[in-house]
A and B are shown apart, each in its own frame.
Chain A
Amino acid sequence: MKKPVLREVNDSMGFYALLALFGAIILIALGATYYMEHNGHWVTGMNNQIVWGMPHVFALFLIIAASGALNVSSIASVFGRYQYKPISPLSTVLAAALLLGGLMVLVLDLGRPDRLIVAMTYYNFKSIFAWNIILYNGFLAILVVYLWTQLDQTKNKYSKLAGFVAFFWRLILTTGTGSIFGFLVARQGYDAAIMAPMFIIMSFAFGLAVFMLVMFGAYKWTQRPLGDAIVRRLKNLLGVFIGAVLYFTLVFHLTNLYATEHHGVERFILMDGGIYTTLFWWGHFVIGGLVPLALLYLPQTGMKRSMIALASVLVILGGMAQLYVIIIGGQAYPLEMFPGMEVTSSFFDGVVGTYSPTLAETLLGIGGFAIAMLLVTFVARVLRLLPESLADDVVDPHHSKADA
């Protein structure tokens, strides 16, 4: 078996071009943030009905994907699949980078981002949000140690232990993220225990999709060999996760449909919610579910890199659509304070909330992606992160062409 050799990427025009590109996007995002924070949130589409908007869709996507980006590391360390080991460090770094990107978006959308220190020093331990602050910071710390055990030959023996800790931590972390909504008893669209496991499954799919795109990009641009063995394993895994997300979505809505009290909100999301219905069926179900499943499994497209990459992109877009429906659709549906009554007021009671995202808040969200990608690019340059080769004989010595 060839021993995989990890090597930093070289100085090249491409590397600097990537840094410049991501840097420029981040600068634009920071400009958008300054504009939002200087003026106040009146320049955004968010209001007192839809209190969480586009930044939260992006931030939650990134945070959920961060947990899922660790899949590859976890499979290698926790489940002992050695084939994934060479590429594991990238998985760990990507997880940390996505989390930082998501947190940046979340923090910069706060009404008082200048009070970040308050969020770090005043804790209300009954708040799932406060727990998440600890979970996110803890996850970052664990990832740093985990990466160390993965990259330092002398610390390699601890990588299994670190991998276990990281694996359980990320399950708790995504449970915490899902519970942000699961624990909201007041709103018809939330308040469901299934939110937590559903978010875990979503994390598997979203994180893996981002990971595959990053891996494809890194190996194409550094002109390092990337064999079909690892790609095939990962794309099959992605297919299973997409199916699992659809399954959880089905169970979630079926459960709600059985209870008459939830018919209103279900009707809203599934039938006459306008943009939310469109995003649910076309965005989440078709673009984020059926189409990538077909691309990954149909014999005509299933082994084409470009099609697998397209499927990954669609999973990301579908995931964003799904989160948009959950986060914004869930708020748009009016609170039911007086069941069975028609309600009107000057404060938009009984009315579907309106939200049209502005450029600034969307740019802030995109900036989160740019931060994550900038960090990965940077780390791949300064650390020996990526295997020189992921050709089939490096990934799996027992591999033969006949399997392919």
Chain B
Amino acid sequence: MTMQNTDQSRRKFLGTSAAAVAGVTIAPGVLLHTPAQARPVDQPATSAQRWGILIDTNQCDAGCNDCVTACQSENGWGSNETKSSPEQQAEWIRKVELKDPNTGYKQSLPVMCQHCETPPCVDVCPTGASMKRADGIVLVDKHICIGCRYCMMACPYKARSFIHETLTDQKTVAPRGKGTVESCTMCVHRVDDGGTPACVEACPGKNGKAMVFGDLNDPNSEISQRLKQYGGKQIRADLGLNPGVRYQGI
């Protein structure tokens, strides 16, 4: 035990001092594979950040499905549920087509877990498996999910899926299995590594990206700047859930 403790504190010391050194004296590029803003691996996520995604529907092409396919190949859903009916198959993110019946005006936009500040799924979960991380990412802890599906009843965005069959060949970064509920993780494994969610990365947009990922708590981040300048709407703002995913043009 003592060895382990020493080892941990040594790692922690090295980690923090490395970050400090990198931040103060050396160019960020020195920290080889991790970008400068990445949190050290031994540090917990904190409420200093609140991760969010801004989706500009004016830039979103109705024929484009790139965010969905990127999510599928990143997280391994969409091809390994062979027995489930289409109604039973999981969808972490989907393209929704809107049409105003009065004017015929059409829009296209991706909808996924909206990562609410006060998520109804977290409120209703009996075991606490449905959870929100300190940095605002809403996740299912499949270790203690009992598969009651109450969160799916509670979610206003239809963002969650239940796994109806035994799965094999999951991605290492996205464990998923029979009898538990899952949804968009905002690619938490990438975010922890200082990266960007796969959908945002893959989005080609019409003239420039339709999706921006960033820290809503940082007033200088691109997402905050854009929101400040052009505003952003919430789906079902009437519920007061303050989602982390915002839309422009709806």
Please tell me whether chains A and B touch each other in their complex, using a CB distance cut-off of 8 A. Answer: yes
Interface residues of A (CB under 8 A from B): 37, 39-42, 44, 46-49, 51-52, 110-113, 115-116, 118-119, 122-124, 126-130, 133, 180, 183-187, 331, 335, 337-338, 340-349, 353-354
Query: Does the CB pair A110–B179 fall under 8 Å?
Result: yes
How far is it, in angstroms, between the C-alpha of A236 and the C-alpha of B223 when the chains are bound?
Answer: 66
How far is it, in angstroms, between the C-alpha of A119 and the C-alpha of B120 when the chains are bound?
Answer: 19
| 8 A-B pairs with the lowest CB-CB distances in the bound complex, closest first | A111-B147, A111-B179, A186-B156, A47-B87, A129-B126, A42-B164, A40-B165, A124-B128
Residues on A with beta carbons closer than 8 Å to the beta carbon of B129: 122
Query: Does the CB pair B146–A349 fall under 8 Å?
Result: no
Query: Does the CB pair B97–A122 fall under 8 Å?
Result: no
Contact with A along B161-175 (1 / 0, CB 8 A): 111111000000000
How far is it, in angstroms, between the C-alpha of A290 and the C-alpha of B23 when the chains are bound?
Answer: 77
A166 to chain B, nearest CB (A): 24
- Residue of A39, A47, A180, A183 with highest tally of chain B CB at under 10 A: A47
Taking the complex as formed, is B4 at the interface, i.e. its CB lies under 8 A from any CB of chain A? no
A40 nearest in chain B by CB position: B165
Residues on A with beta carbons closer than 8 Å to the beta carbon of B181: 111
Query: Does the CB pair B146–A110 fall under 8 Å?
Result: yes
How far is it, in angstroms, between the C-alpha of A150 and the C-alpha of B84 when the chains are bound?
Answer: 51
| CB-CB under 8 A for A118 and B146, given A40-B166, A48-B162, A127-B126 | yes
Interface size on B, residues (CB 8 A): 56
| CB-CB under 8 A for A122 and B164, given A112-B147, A185-B239, A345-B96 | no
| CB-CB under 8 A for A111 and B178, given A118-B144, A338-B250 | yes
The one of A40, A111, A338 that contacts B149, using a Cβ cutoff of 8 Å: A111
Residues on A with beta carbons closer than 8 Å to the beta carbon of B7: none
Taking the complex as formed, is B137 at the interface, i.e. its CB lies under 8 A from any CB of chain A? no
Instruction: Give the interface SS of chain A, mostly helix, strand, loop or mixed.
Output: loop
Instruction: Give the interface SS of chain B, mostly helix, strand, loop or mixed.
Output: loop
Interface residues of B in 137-193 (CB under 8 A from A): 144-150, 152-158, 160-166, 178-181
Query: Does the CB pair A129–B124 fall under 8 Å?
Result: yes
Residues on A with beta carbons closer than 8 Å to the beta carbon of B98: 338, 341-343
How far is it, in angstroms, between the C-alpha of A154 and the C-alpha of B128 when the chains are bound?
Answer: 45
How far is it, in angstroms, between the C-alpha of A185 and the C-alpha of B156 when the chains are bound?
Answer: 8
Query: Does the CB pair A129–B150 fall under 8 Å?
Result: yes
Taking the complex as formed, is B101 at the interface, i.e. its CB lies under 8 A from any CB of chain A? yes
| CB-CB under 8 A for A42 and B147, given A345-B97, A349-B96 | no
Query: Does the CB pair B149–A47 fall under 8 Å?
Result: no
| CB-CB under 8 A for A187 and B153, given A40-B166, A42-B164, A47-B85 | yes
Residues on A with beta carbons closer than 8 Å to the beta carbon of B91: 48, 346-347
Residues on A with beta carbons closer than 8 Å to the beta carbon of B160: 48
The one of A52, A186, A347, A348 that contacts B239, using a Cβ cutoff of 8 Å: A186
How far is it, in angstroms, between the C-alpha of A346 and the C-alpha of B101 when the chains are bound?
Answer: 20
Interface residues of B in 73-129 (CB under 8 A from A): 81, 83-85, 87-91, 94-101, 111, 120, 122-129
Residues on A with beta carbons closer than 8 Å to the beta carbon of B148: 110-111, 129
The one of B81, B96, B125 that contacts A343, using a Cβ cutoff of 8 Å: B96
The one of A112, A126, A127, A345 that contacts B95, using a Cβ cutoff of 8 Å: A345
Residues on A with beta carbons closer than 8 Å to the beta carbon of B125: 124, 127, 129
Query: Does the CB pair A126–B156 fall under 8 Å?
Result: no
Residues on B with beta carbons closer than 8 Å to the beta carbon of A180: 150
